[in-house]
Amino acid sequence: MAAAVDEIRAQSYVGFDTITTQIEHKLLKRGFQFNVIVAGQTGLGKSTLINTIFASHLIDSKGRLEADEPVRQTTEIQAVSHVIVENSVKLRLNIVDTPGYGDQVNNENCWDPIIKYIKDQHSAYLRKELTAMRDRHIQDTRIHCCLYFISPTGHSLRPIDVIVMKKLSEVVNVVPIIAKADSLTLEERDAFKQKIRAELVYHNIRLYPFDTEENDDEEIQLNESIRNMIPFAVVGSERNVIIGGKTVRGRKNRWGVVNVEDREHCEFVQLRDFLTRTHLQDLIETTAQIHYEAFRSKQLLALKDQANPRPAPTQVAA
Ligand SMILES: Nc1nc2c(ncn2[C@@H]2O[C@H](COP(=O)(O)OP(=O)(O)O)[C@@H](O)[C@H]2O)c(=O)[nH]1
Ligand SMILES: [Mg+2]
């Protein structure tokens, strides 16, 4: 009996279960695109951190390689592309560095260029999507993640952080980061993290990840675990130091050495894992489904209104 069933199965096998391999093959050939932007006050270590996160991969890139090269003050929004290959998976990484803000006497609208940059990418994508002869695969420059740097004061968010994070969270996945966490003790760090989470709730700032009705229990739990982790308290360094005979990325100070990649010292590894191992795909998907979709429908509605202007309300005689 069992043999007969096997026989029927063998005869009716058409092979569509290979679809996963087919998809994989196609995706591998095309490669993946991931675009990150950094934002926050000048001097918080934004340029340093992005160089630390992808340091070992940036050998063949246009980024700054040696710590001895002069530190360039970031003066304009600047995108640098890298291609990273791991086990035949190709990742095109675009890192967008921004000048700091918040150090002028008048900080009004200092965040505008960053918001504009993000919207410009959405608008470029939409334009390509709408052309009659659109490419089969559109080059994606939409920003998938914004790392937002918070000063390690240990007290609370600055008013400008509240305003800017709120604005940013409307157009992009924002991941908050406590910069230069080596200046806080572990107790101070944990208290500050809790304080910031409470303030985000108080100010009604809704950051990535977003719960949707389609999420299953596993996804809801995963989202909850991210919310309990943010903001990531990190340390960056472009220099190597030697600890116990091993060369590591670190910072030496009067009391000892901070090993950037030691989970006991800071949350750098957690942040890197989050970005590259666990949430890469979700950040990309959320950008397309939530942020870009919102932008797109707003633009298309505006276009429709332009084409068929609504009749002006008739004046009612008094
Ligand atoms: N203590 C400490 N200093 C850092 C850290 N990251 C960067 N720095 C230093 O802070 C200064 C400003 O860094 P930079 O990356 O140019 O900041 P940006 O203006 O935000 O891009 C440099 O002297 C860095 O060496 C950190 O995690 N801890
Ligand atoms: Mg910089």
Nearest CA to ligand 1 atom 2: 180
pLDDT tens per residue across span 4-48: 767 766 678 888 888 888 888 888 878 889 999 999 998 999 988
How big is the chain by its Cα radius of gyration, in Å? 24
Pocket of ligand 1 (CB under 6 A): 42-48, 71, 74, 100, 180, 182, 235-236, 251
Domains of the chain, by residue range, sit at 30-301
DSSP state letters, the chain: -HHHHHHHHHHH---GGGHHHHHHHHHHHH-EEEEEEEEESTTSSHHHHHHHHTGGGGGGSSS---TTSPPPPP-S-EEEEEEEEETTEEEEEEEEE----S-SS--TTTTHHHHHHHHHHHHHHHHHHHSTT--SS-------EEEEEE---SS---HHHHHHHHHHHTTS-EEEEES-GGGS-HHHHHHHHHHHHHHHHHTT--PSS---TT--HHHHHHHHHHHHHPSEE----SSEEEETTEEEEEEEETTEEEETT-TTT-SHHHHHHIIIIISHHHHHHHIIIIIIHHHHHHHHHHHHHHHSPPPPPPPPP-
Mean pLDDT per block of 10 residues along the chain (318 residues) reads: 67 83 82 92 90 63 46 73 83 87 69 93 92 75 96 93 94 96 93 96 92 83 88 92 86 86 90 89 93 94 80 60
Contact 291, 172 (CB under 8 A): yes
CA 144 to ligand 1 center in whole angstroms: 24
CA 253 to ligand 1 center in whole angstroms: 14
Distance CA 153, CA 155 (A): 5
CA 260 to ligand 1 center in whole angstroms: 13
Report the largest interatomic distance among the alpha carbons of the chain, rounded to a whole angstrom.
90
What is the CATH topology of the domain spanning 30-301?
Rossmann fold (3.40.50)
Nearest CA to ligand 1 atom 22: 45
Closest CA to 165 of 175, 156, 155: 175
pLDDT at 56: 55
Give me the residue label for tokens 């196609």.
26
Using CA atoms, how far residue 76 sits from 21, 81, 100, 221, in Å, is: 43, 16, 9, 39
Q: Which one of the ligands is nearest to 74 CA?
A: 2
Nearest CA to ligand 1 atom 14: 45
Contact 234, 181 (CB under 8 A): yes
CA 51 to ligand 1 center in whole angstroms: 11
CA 252 to ligand 1 center in whole angstroms: 13
Q: Which one of the ligands is nearest to 75 CA?
A: 2
Mutate to test the pocket of ligand 1, among 36, 46, 48, 75 (most ligand atoms within 8 A of CB): 48
pLDDT at 67: 47
Which atom of ligand 1 is the closest one to the Cα of 237? Answer: 6
What is the torsional sign of CA 157, 158, 159, 161?
A: negative
pLDDT at 65: 45
CA 239 to ligand 1 center in whole angstroms: 12
Nearest CA to ligand 1 atom 7: 45
Contact 158, 132 (CB under 8 A): no
pLDDT tens per residue across span 80-114: 888 888 888 888 889 898 887 766 666 677 888 99
